[in-house]
Structure 1
Amino acid sequence: MYTEDELVFIKENLGKRPLTEIAKQLGRSPKSLEMTLIRKMGTSNTKTSTGNITAGELAKILQVDRNTVIGWLARHGLPYKEKITRYKKKFTFIDVEEFWKWAAHNKEKIDFSKMLPYSLPPEPDWVKEERKYKKARNYCPWTILEEKQLLEWAQAGLSMQTISEKLKRTPSSVVKKYERLKGTN
């Protein structure tokens, strides 16, 4: 039986340190700690017990690549926390309410029309209106054909603005892709 102080220690360290380390600090076996988590929290899966979602889960809900969500975390300020689950694996967790606050200021990055209604509760009222409009092709991977067309049109002397209109991509993404492709040739 774990003491009240031990249970507080577990809650404070769960997700911050591996279960083996927490168990060692308490002088208990990792298996004993797992069983206590199941009895006291209903699960030994620290990922499930956070109440947050992972970057991968958010990507599935929004129907975007996981790396798109990772990019939002790294470059666009989407709030997140990294936690260790079970023994060693680290997950990136996103609080759903924090996501919605961030999304309200970054609507142009998300195509809400791809998202099923109420798949990420609590869904703000403004999402219903946003869902009506299909967004431009943000964060879409380039096809081999698009890359070939870009190189051909640039070689033929078309402006990057014209090429971006033909490819239905932003001028900045066309310029960046062209520079990358030129560097590999």
Structure 2
Amino acid sequence: MNRKWTKNEIEYLENEWGSQSVPAIAKALDRTEIAVTNKAWKLGLGRFTMSGDYITLYELFAALGYKAYTGTFKYFTNNGLPYRVQKVHNSKRVRVININSFWKWAEENKEIIDFSNTKENFLGKEPKWVAEKRKLDFINPNKKSIRKWTKEDDEKLIFMCNSGKYSCHEIAETLNRSRQAISSRASKLNVCIKKTKSCKRISKETKEEIERLIKQGADTVTISKMLNVSQKTILRQKKKMYNISQSVNNRNINI
């Protein structure tokens, strides 16, 4: 005979659904896993991994707009994504992540994440810095994929190079590609780009703006487009920032 669910048992199930595994909940309530999942379904608690503070990595990547799971998983986990493997029921295991832990990790790894395909509050209430990062990611929409050069692209590039009127930056702006991509393609097509002075010094204000954008997680292509400076200049500034922070950390350790 089926045992009726008490008010306390229902409250426990609602509170723990999505936080503890189904086997753990079943053991705590002295019920079968099937009984627990059936009751959760009747209560409208939804899928196990969409409840509480956890979601699966697959669902996270889908929400971020990444289509390829395997490559994204390796890329993110190699950079320390704090996930864990959780048993759901019937020995099924899934990779899940705590949403708060994700946001903490994301803030420390802004540069490797693209928010341009996400809507506001796509994982519930989001940190304030995400809105600014989303705007930055819209500036460089092609950073997640490598676009093939079309015949029309090549014709535009050849025309702009042969005219002698356009700098590498101007061509990159027109074709919506990085300066490095333009230089590489021009070399393959055996055409020359108008030379500009590369030794131009940048102002203190520009350096400070580069550092601000780097801290916000903007990539080099985005910063280059926004400030009209070369990617090499940005990388030099980034390296300088890194070396300074390293020396500061070393001094703190010695103290």
* TM-score higher than 0.5: yes
Per the TM alignment, residue 44 of structure 1 is displaced from its structure 2 partner at its CA by: 7.0
Structure 2 CA distance for partners of 1:31 and 1:86, relative to 1, 3 Å: same
User: How do 1:1-185 residues align onto structure 2 when only pairs under 5 Å count?
Assistant: 1=4, 11=16, 14-15=20-21, 17=23, 22=26, 26=30, 28-38=31-41, 42-43=44-45, 45-64=47-66, 65-72=68-75, 74-134=77-137, 135=140, 140=145, 166=184
Q: Secondary structure at the match of 2:61?
A: helix
Per the TM alignment, residue 107 of structure 1 is displaced from its structure 2 partner at its CA by: 0.8
Partner Cα separation in structure 1 for residue 121 and residue 32 of structure 2:
41
Partner Cα separation in structure 1 for residue 120 and residue 113 of structure 2:
14
Amino acid at match of 2:184: K
Structure 2 CA distance for partners of 1:54 and 1:141, relative to 1, 3 Å: farther
Per the TM alignment, residue 105 of structure 1 is displaced from its structure 2 partner at its CA by: 0.9
Structure 2 CA distance for partners of 1:14 and 1:100, relative to 1, 3 Å: closer
Deviates more, 1:130-139 or 1:102-111: 130-139
Aligned to 1:156: none
Amino acid at match of 2:121: Y
**8 A contact 2:82–2:97 mirrored in 1:** yes
Gap runs ≥5 in structure 2: 149-179, 186-220, 222-255
Structure 2 CA distance for partners of 1:44 and 1:104, relative to 1, 3 Å: closer
Amino acid at match of 1:55: L
**8 A contact 1:53–1:94 mirrored in 2:** yes
Structure 2 CA distance for partners of 1:137 and 1:71, relative to 1, 3 Å: farther
Structure 2 CA distance for partners of 1:33 and 1:125, relative to 1, 3 Å: closer
Amino acid at match of 2:21: G
**8 A contact 2:22–2:89 mirrored in 1:** no
Partner Cα separation in structure 2 for residue 17 and residue 30 of structure 1:
6
Structure 2 CA distance for partners of 1:114 and 1:42, relative to 1, 3 Å: closer
Partner Cα separation in structure 2 for residue 47 and residue 84 of structure 1:
11
**8 A contact 1:82–1:90 mirrored in 2:** yes
**8 A contact 2:116–2:141 mirrored in 1:** no
Gap runs ≥5 in structure 1: 144-161, 170-185
Partner Cα separation in structure 1 for residue 89 and residue 146 of structure 2:
34
TM-score (norm 1): 0.56
Per the TM alignment, residue 103 of structure 1 is displaced from its structure 2 partner at its CA by: 0.9
Partner Cα separation in structure 2 for residue 88 and residue 138 of structure 1:
39
User: C-alpha offsets along residues 104-153 of structure 1, whole Å, 9 cap, x if unaligned?
Assistant: 1111101222222221222111111111223586664798xxxxxxxxxx
Per the TM alignment, residue 78 of structure 1 is displaced from its structure 2 partner at its CA by: 1.4
Question: In terms of Rg, which structure is larger?
Answer: 2
Q: % of aligned pairs identical?
A: 25
Q: Secondary structure at the match of 2:21?
A: coil
Paired residue total: 146
Amino acid at match of 1:60: A
Amino acid at match of 2:53: G
Structure 2 CA distance for partners of 1:103 and 1:31, relative to 1, 3 Å: closer
Q: Secondary structure at the match of 2:36?
A: helix
